[in-house]
Structure 1
Amino acid sequence: MGTVVRELQRDLESKANDLNKLQKDIAKNHQVRKKYTIQLGENELVLKELDLLDKDANVYKLIGPVLVKQDLAEANANVRKRIDYISAELKRLDATLQDLEDKQNSKKDAVLKLQQRIQSLQAGKAKA
């Protein structure tokens, strides 16, 4: 009976480590998602500002330490592409997050069942 409990405890420890890793992955996903959300907001703001400009307005792009003149239409297209890319990344991150959360819930259930089984075995051993 003692070896069964030890095996279950090893299995529990393994599943708990897996759960811990999933929780770290979820936290990392949230950090990356937050970064992209901020970038999306900044780019949408830039797009609004570009839309306010006249067709012949001067637009400059910062490349390293230098401001380079850029065509308004080109700047507008670049910002729109960036917004599309960031939006696609956010959708991908959301799908990944959903998958990770499903796995996390599954692991939590498995850990809980193992804990209950160990407790019932130990309670049965204490009575005997």
Structure 2
Amino acid sequence: MADAAARLQELSEQFTALQKELQTAVESRQKLEAQKTENLGVQKEFSNLKEDETIYKLIGPVLLKQDKVEAESTVTGRLEFIGKEISRLENQIKSTQDKLEKKKADIIQAQAAAQAAAQAATPAQVTA
């Protein structure tokens, strides 16, 4: 009986750890989605600029003049990186969700086994 309870406790702790892992991955994905939206806005602004307009990049407290081609390639590179990271995180989220479902099934099975063991240990009562 104590063995079943220990197994159930272990499975529960593993389930909780997987939930935390999932939450962290989802939060990271949300941050990346926000960055993607921001960079898409910047990219849209670049398309509205004329060739002779000046672009400045904020580095610390200083604004530095930047070439339009360089600025566009930087934003495009960021968007590619963000897209790959989002894809990686979505795969991680799917994998973690699958692990959670399996762990949930294991917990249900362990609970059923513990209940069966508890019932088997209890002597049958006869009602008169």
Give the structure-2-normalised TM-score: 0.94
Aligned partner of 2:96 in structure 1 is 100
Aligned partners of 2:18, 2:103: CA distance in 1, in Å? 9
Structure 1 residue 124 displacement after superposition? 2.5
Deviations 1:76-98 (A, max 9, x none): 11000000000000000001111
- For the residues of structure 1 that align with 2:65 and 2:114, how far apart are their CA atoms? 70
CA distance in 1, matches of 2:2, 2:16: 21
Q: What is the distance in 1 between the residues matched to 2:22 and 2:46?
A: 36
Residue 59 (structure 2) aligned to one of 48, 54, 63: 63
**Quick check: 1:83 aligned with 2:83?**
no
Q: Does 1:46 align with 2:34?
A: no
Is 1:124–2:124 an aligned residue pair? no
Counterparts of 1:101 and 1:127 in 2: how far apart (Å)? 41
Give the unaligned 5+ runs of structure 1. none
Tell me which of 1, 14, 18 is aligned to 1:18: 14
Instruction: Report the CA distance between 1:123 and its aligned residue.
Output: 2.0
What secondary structure does 2:122 align onto? helix
SS of structure 2 residue aligned to 1:23: helix
Which stretches in structure 2 are left out of the alignment for 5+ residues? none
Count of aligned pairs: 124
- One-letter amino acid of the counterpart of residue 50, structure 2: D
CA RMSD of aligned residues (A): 0.8
Task: Tell me the amino acid that sits aligned with residue 69 of structure 1.
Answer: K
Deviation for aligned residue 1:126:
2.4
CA distance in 2, matches of 1:97, 1:78: 28
Distance 1:127 1:6 in 2: 18
Partner Cα separation in structure 2 for residue 45 and residue 8 of structure 1: 56
Displacement of 1:127: 3.9
TM-score for both structures, normalised by structure 1: 0.94
